[in-house]
Amino acid sequence: MNPEDLSTTRRLLLEEQTAALGVVMEERPYVGLVPYVWIPARGAAVIHTSTLAQHSAGLYDGAAVSLLVRATQGVRDHLQVPRVTILGAADLVLPESDLYPQYKERYLARFPKATITFSLKDFSLFTVQASEARVVLGFGKAFTLSLPALQILFEE
């Protein structure tokens, strides 16, 4: 990846705010839309979801999931939309976990209107822990990154 590709990949994960969440429900694929916060050091995204959402049926601790983040600004050619697909597993973050306050704070810093959802019993905090990422930045510009390579992208 050249410096521009690295910059585009970082920008997609850090600046875009919603992702398509792919889950498996009753042996069938399902895709929903979720707000997320990327945690570079962990190579994971934090999402906060309601059990009332359809995709929650396929979102549980250890579930295989994917997140697709796509560019929403400045797209000139819709045949070549820059995007990153995160392949990984969902991890439920319990309120008593050491990481819960940090993830909640990061999530609320990005989505302050979500404060109310943290007081509702049907919402849960999950991470989508990447095992690898598929980065597509245009025709002939596709890369598969392991978790360590994905984490290195954010080191400077």
State yes or no: pLDDT of 19 exceeds 80. yes
The pTM assigned to this predicted structure is: 0.90
Query: How buried is 135 (Cβ within 10 angstroms: 0-12 exposed, 13-18 middle, 19+ buried)?
Result: buried
Q: What is the mean pLDDT of the chain?
A: 92
State yes or no: pLDDT of 79 exceeds 80. no
Mean pLDDT across the stretch 17-26?
Answer: 94
The CATH number, out of the four listed (2.30.110.10, 3.20.20.80, 2.40.50.70, 3.30.2140.20), of the domain defined by the range 3-152 = 2.30.110.10
Mean pLDDT across the stretch 55-78?
Answer: 87
**Comparing 40-49, 66-75, 83-92, 110-119, which segment has the lowest mean pLDDT?**
66-75
> 20: which strand partners?
33, 68
State yes or no: pLDDT of 60 exceeds 90. no
Please report the pLDDT score of residue 3 as a whole number: 87
Domain boundaries, the chain: 3-152
